[in-house]
Amino acid sequence: MARRIILVRHPPVESAWQKRCYGQSDPGLSRAGQAMVALLIDQLTALGPDAIVHSDMKRTRAIALPLAERLGIVPIAEPLWRERDFGSWEGRCWNAIYRETGNAMNGMIDAPDTFRPGGSGETTRQLIDRITAALASVPCNGSVIIVTHGGPIASARAARMADGLERITDLVPPTGSVTVL
């Protein structure tokens, strides 16, 4: 059986965290996000996964655990699938970060091997390398659902494209979406 990887980005987070940099912070889902869970579980159940992996964050467990229970599958919590570490930017409003740093955020694209968001965060290259390692550790056979975050999904997609690094921001899917690699 050939391996099929299905990446699911968690639904929207709590309202207080929207428009904030929440990378490896652990907010739960908003009411709208919670309302999306049942529909996502129905959609994902129909795909007949053989394995379920999640990043171990609240916003991914909200889908992975009830999906796994419905299907009788033991979910795998894998921290490699967490969102990017944004260093001191974590929890701050994106507008405040922009006002303080100007176009520094562009460093994530312009200097992917050296720019560390928030001074100590993960470079884009480190994120892509981490997700490449996470992909290599996915069970080899069957259909695998991975409930994760926008940055890791964009990184997985970018790693498979010749010009992926330059397009990585375009590869971030909307919250609550399903992407088949």
Nearest CA among 137, 117, 145, 99 for reference residue 6: 145
Q: What is the pLDDT of residues 9-48, one digit of tens each?
A: 999 999 999 999 999 999 999 999 999 999 999 999 999 9
Give the structural domain span for 48: 4-180
β partners of residue 145: 6, 52
* CATH code of the domain containing 29: 3.40.50.1240
Domain count, the chain: 1
User: Which strands form 178-180's sheet, in the order they lie side by side?
Assistant: 76-77, 51-54, 143-148, 4-9, 178-180
Q: What is the pLDDT of residues 107-160, one digit of tens each?
A: 999 999 999 999 999 999 999 999 999 999 997 789 999 999 999 999 999 988
Alpha-carbon distance of 154 to 149, in angstroms, equals 9
